[in-house]
Structure 1
Amino acid sequence: MAQAGGLPQANTTSGQTYVKKLVLLGNSSVGKTSLVLRYMRENFRSILPTVGCAFFTKVMDLGSSSLKLEIWDTAGQEKYHSVCHLYFRGANAALLVYDITRKDSFHKAQQWLEELEKEFQPGEVVVMLVGNKTDLGEEREVTFQEGKEFAESKNLLFMETSAKLNYQVSEVFNTVAQELLQRAGEEGNSSSQEGEAVVLNQGPAVRRGQCCAR
């Protein structure tokens, strides 16, 4: 599993730069923007809800290869729901974020997954379910096991985080980036083989288990 200090080497073509789009989806106030700002700027502060969408870029250098993540942080308010569909089109990866202290936000994350399934072919995008705000564990309404079991049932990556405490924030983005690079390498290797399909979002169970096991 990727660690906060860096990203493991992936099987990519030497000198190749990959550009991938990552979109964050979830209810308002689950901490999507806080996660991005913690990852990008290594700080945390209370912020107002996102209006429409916020855009960030992050370049990860991997020696002979690099990955540029285009991160789209969407608004969670219901009035922006239809607009968010425009932002996640063309995405290569998605974070479905919920607040572990709000059961309704967990259900909303599941609804967003259904929306993704309407837009993309099965396995076309890397999807991670993220339970945020573990610092509020005493108020927890969604257990770790609930999140893990749902993720496993849908073949999603899964982690719990705390943007406030900087718990597993880098690991979330780095793990998704690692998966994207792995698939990019697989696509490159298979593109020369006529008729061979590339199966996406079908990573080994052991990798998913590493994300979940704590």
Structure 2
Amino acid sequence: MSTPRGPVSVMRSRDVISILIAGEGGVGKSTLVKNLITGSYHPQTLTVGLNVETWTYEHGGRKRTVTIMDAGGEERFQFLLPSWARGTSGCILAFDLGRFISFLHLPDWLGIVLGAMKPDRVLLVGTKADLGNDREVPGEHAEAFARDNGLIGYVETSAKMSMNVVEAFQILLERINIDN
């Protein structure tokens, strides 16, 4: 039997956080996650099923690892969402600012997510804030949706411009860290 050599790093369970990113297909969830991890814009194809990524950040002088469960947004995967959401500490609920229909479907997505967590663990994120005049969802509508449903809040992001991507995840993680 061999003996391990060198220092052994033990990661406490509080140092690993799992979050879910959910929303309709094509809203930019995977592109948002890729931007978070790489710091650059990489358009992604539709996620089939579930894609799992990890991101490391520092909080309170400790490195924390975030497991990001990027759920495919096609209707055929919605029945799997409750099992993917169980055991996660929070959720980014995303919609496309350029597709009003993705905003209209938010109550359905939120209903599924709320089967696994409280609304104060969900952050509403509008993607593709760089659209300018092609925008279909006013910020006031999204803010009202977040407020009326007791969500953490609302953030507009652009993976293309690296706008508010890290900040959105930090807002969610700060809420999770307050509760842990």
Q: Which residue pairs with 1:174 in the alignment? A: 170
Q: Which runs of 5+ in 2 are unaligned?
A: 1-11
The DSSP-based 3-state class of the residue aligned with 2:15 is: strand
Contact 1:17-1:68 within 8 A present in 2 as well: no
Q: Percent identity?
A: 28
Q: Which residue pairs with 1:107 in the alignment? A: 104
Q: Which residue pairs with 2:7 in the alignment? A: none
Matching residue within 61, 70, 77 for 2:74: 77
Q: How far, CA to CA, are the matches of 1:118 and 1:182 in structure 2?
A: 22
4+ aligned runs moved over 6 Å, structure 1 = none
Q: How far, CA to CA, are the matches of 2:75 and 2:150 in structure 1?
A: 27
Q: How far, CA to CA, are the matches of 1:46 and 1:57 in structure 2?
A: 18
Contact 1:134-1:162 within 8 A present in 2 as well: yes
Q: How far, CA to CA, are the matches of 2:16 and 2:104 in structure 1?
A: 31
> What is the one-letter code of the residue matched to 2:53?
F
Q: Which residue pairs with 2:84 in the alignment? A: 87
Q: Deviations over 1:50-108 (max 9, x none)?
A: 11111111222235433221100010111111123321111110011000111110122
Q: How far, CA to CA, are the matches of 2:28 and 2:64 in structure 1?
A: 25
Q: CA deviation at 1:152?
A: 0.9
2:42 counterpart of 1:36: no
CA RMSD of aligned residues (A): 1.8
Contact 1:67-1:181 within 8 A present in 2 as well: no
Structure scoring higher RCO (CA < 8 A, sep ≥ 6) equals 1
Contact 2:20-2:88 within 8 A present in 1 as well: yes
Q: How far, CA to CA, are the matches of 2:147 and 2:54 in structure 1?
A: 29
Report how many aligned residue pairs link the two structures. Answer: 168
Superposition TM-score, scaled by structure 1 size:
0.73
Contact 2:82-2:115 within 8 A present in 1 as well: no
Q: CA deviation at 1:32?
A: 0.1
> What is the one-letter code of the residue matched to 1:53?
L
2:131 counterpart of 1:136: yes
Contact 1:17-1:65 within 8 A present in 2 as well: no
Q: Which residue pairs with 2:161 in the alignment? A: 165
Superposition TM-score, scaled by structure 2 size:
0.86
